[in-house]
Amino acid sequence: KYIDNLRRLLAPHGTFLLYAFIRSTDSEKSGLSEYDLAILSDQLTLISRQDGFDHGKRSSSWLRFINDDLENL
């Protein structure tokens, strides 16, 4: 999976910036669920999250993560 490789591929203290549509639990539209974001947060440290709406319609977020895994230096 993509998420499983992020920590390994991102340099120590590297930044991962992500823009994503946020999917509600009852929606079948594309996007990330809060569960998906929790899994990502298990791999990388969430530094900031800016929620908004894409064109005033779909929930979206800018997310900034860092890799603070120092074991793979």
For residue 51, give every residue at least 6 positions away whose Cβ sits within 8 Å of its Cβ, in sequence order, or none: 22, 59, 60, 61
Residue 57 backbone class (left: φ over 0; alpha: ψ -120 to 50; beta: rest): alpha
Parallel/antiparallel/unpaired status of strands 58-66 and 15-21: antiparallel
pLDDT tens for residues 4-21?
788 888 999 999 999 999
Its pTM stands at 0.82
pLDDT tens for residues 28-72?
778 999 998 999 999 999 999 999 998 878 899 999 999 987 665
* pLDDT reported for residue 2: 79
